[in-house]
Every structure is written in structure tokens, then in C-alpha cells.
Amino acid sequence: MLYFAYGSNLHHFQMKKRCKDSTFIKKINLKDFRLTFRSKYRAADIEPKKNSIVPGGLFEISKSDEKKLDVYEDYPILYKKYFFSHYGKRVMTYTMVKKTSFRFPTERYLNVVKHGYKDCKLDQKYLDQALLNK
């Protein structure tokens, strides 16, 4: 199954620890969405926004990886699954159930996300934009 990571799961080492069967395929952009941070966990989330993009990593994951991610993402309480099509292929990602207001991420969490942006060779300007909450 294809999985789109846009937050801390972009961090290759962390993703491999979490999902042993996962393989990073390539970076892709999710169109008409924007990155934000929210909830008491101050974690990454995506929300619809016209003419905006969320860069992320496309991973191949196994069924057991998906089950591990479900636990990690506190599915279906904190996050729900969102599916989209990328060149005709079905891709799964997570999006927060409750769209609370913006909360700046913790330094530790933000460092993991920044490391993930480097691992996946993503343009950090999108992360910087999200942190400005614009």
C-alpha cells in the first residue's frame, strides 16, 4: 500500500523503526492542501487550501506497518485516514479529526520534521510557511 508522510514520519530512520517493511519511494506534492500544526500534541496536520501544496514522502508500507501507524497516529481518535489518487494509484495519509487552532510544535518534534525534510529532499519553505501559520 502507498502511504504519504508529511510530518515526523518523513524522518527515514524513525519511519524504519516504526514500520520495518516501509520503503521510501520518492517525494511528491499533495495539491490543494496546506500544512499546519495543531492539537494538544502540537503535531502536523493537513487541511484543504486551494492553490497550495504540501510536500511529502511517498512510502510503500505493508499491512502490519499500517496497523503500527494506526496505533502511533491514534487512529481513529486523533487522526482519520484520507485517501487520494497519485497517477492512478491509491495513496493513504492521515488527517486530524478535530481541526483545533494552530499550535506551534515543540522543538523536539520540529527537529524530527526538519530532519525528515532533509531525508526526503523537500523544500523547507513550505515548512517555514506552516510555522508562520499563513
Helices and strands (H, E) in the chain, number of each type: 4, 5
Nearest residue to 34 via CA among 47, 43, 23, 44: 47
- Residue 23, pLDDT score: 98
DSSP string, 8-66: GGG-HHHHHHH-TT-EEEEEEEEEEEEEEEETTTTEEEEEEEEEEEEEEEEEE--HHHH
CATH number, residue 85:
3.10.490.10
* Residue 5 DSSP SS3: strand
Give CA–CA dist 88/65, Å, rounded. Answer: 22
The whole domain housing 29 covers: 2-132
Q: For 23-77, what is each residue's pLDDT tens digit? A: 999 999 999 999 999 999 999 999 999 999 999 999 999 999 999 999 999 999 9
Q: How high does pLDDT run on average in the chain?
A: 97
Nearest residue to 7 via CA among 81, 115, 132: 115
- Of the pLDDT bands very low, low, confident and very high (cuts 50, 70, 90), residue 2 is very high
DSSP 8-state assignment for residue 104: P
Contact 5, 57 (CB under 8 A): yes
Q: For 82-91, what is each residue's pLDDT tens digit? A: 999 999 999 9
**Tally of domains in the chain:** 1
Give CA–CA dist 64/76, Å, rounded. Answer: 17
Calculate what percentage of the chain has a pLDDT beyond 70: 100
Average pLDDT over residues 91-120: 98
